[in-house]
Amino acid sequence: MSKLIEVAPNYSIALPSNSAGLGLKVIDYFINRIDNPHTRRAKVRDLKCLSLFLETHQTDVTNCGIQHLGLYREYLKENGKAIATIKRRISTLKDWFSFLHNEGIRDRDIASSLKSPRRSYVTGTTPVFSRDDLATLLDSFDSSTLKGIRDRLIVCLLYYTGCRVGAMVKIHMPHIKRCQDCFEIELDEKGGSVHTAKTHPVLTNQLSEYLQYAALKEGALIQSVRKGKSVLTGRAMLERNVWDVIKTSCANAGIDTIYSPHSCRATSITNFLNGGGDLRRAQIHANHKSVQSTVLYHRNAKTISVKELDIISL
């Protein structure tokens, strides 16, 4: 039998019913030690997957052996999970068993020797908009409606600032400062990093149009629109709603490639680099802690053209 411990809104994790005193420690692990809510939800999902697997083998996290963890890794491979997913779940598992050992729940850390699959990338894997697709998408929005103006602004914000979705939905009116020829937007990025972005002329025009049309003076910048009415609700859009906007808008524009909000960010950084932008300046634009993350977006530098292959002709 198991008991459920709620570690986040709508997110619970099953623990052995005889694990007295573990509940508060688990809450401390998820709430106090993991600040990012997305990381917290991902870890809960990963541990739920592990718990369900262990249940099928009549054991749990306090009683399983290293052989169960090895079987779990093979189970993930055999079920066609992506390498990145397997690596993340193994990482979560290793952190979890280290926590159980440190808290005295288990007498040793049985996951310390468990290996993750190896794979590295020299370029990012997020689909990047072609220039035609991005232009088609921006031209497809209805400029006569508040929703159309807002949705175009969403794409422009993600592309021209290169910000993450999480930072965009947290923009409030006090974070926007009007300068002589642009806006300055304060972005609250992941890890608590605050980044100020100046707006590209296209974004400046789109933002001005949106603020004027919506008569927006306070609250969140990107808000949901009241159904059937051209008026904002006063509630900030959720990240998942932004994903829906990109997915639906691409489909309505007749774009076959499956793009995501992160594609706008990836395209921004890639185009900056491919246009001759300095790598270190691109790192600032992307608000990356490590330049190695920025290098992943320099895709053309890591591909060989057909013309270049003439060099090795016999």
Calculate mean pLDDT across residues 46-72: 90
Least confident residue range of 11-20, 25-34, 265-274? 11-20
Cβ burial 107-128 (10 Å sphere, 16+ → b, else e): eeebbeebeeeeeeeebbebeb
Contact between 160 and 202 (Cβ < 8 Å): yes
Confidence (pLDDT) at 292:
87
Q: Of 50, 82, 102, which residue is a domain's last?
A: 102
Whole-number average pLDDT of the chain: 86
Residues 81 and 140 in one domain: no
Contact yes or no for 19/105 (Cβ under 8 A): yes
Residue 259 and residue 152 share a domain: yes
Q: What is the pLDDT of residues 201-233, one digit of tens each?
A: 999 999 999 999 999 999 999 999 998 778 899
* Residue whose structure tokens are 């999970």: 81
Looking at the structure, tell me whether residues 291 and 196 fall in a common domain.
yes
Same structural domain, 170 and 279:
yes
CA dist 251 and 247 (Å) reads 6
Which residue, 49, 82, 102, sits at the end of a domain? 102
- One domain, residues 78 and 139: no
Please give the DSSP secondary-structure letter assigned to residue 178. E
CATH code, domain with 276: 1.10.443.10
Kindly state whether residues 292 and 199 are assigned to the same domain. yes
| Counted domains in the chain | 2
Range of the domain at 57: 2-102
Residues 6+ apart with CB under 8 A from 97: 61, 69, 106, 109, 110, 111, 112
> What is the rounded average pLDDT of the residues 97-106?
87
High-pLDDT (> 90) share of the chain, %: 55
Regarding whether 96 and 145 lie in a shared domain, the answer is no
Answer yes or no: is 192 within a domain. Answer: yes
Q: What's the predicted TM-score (pTM) here?
A: 0.73
Residue 7: pLDDT band by 50, 70, 90 thresholds? low
In the block, which residue shows the tokens 């692990």?
Answer: 29
Together in a domain, 59 and 143: no
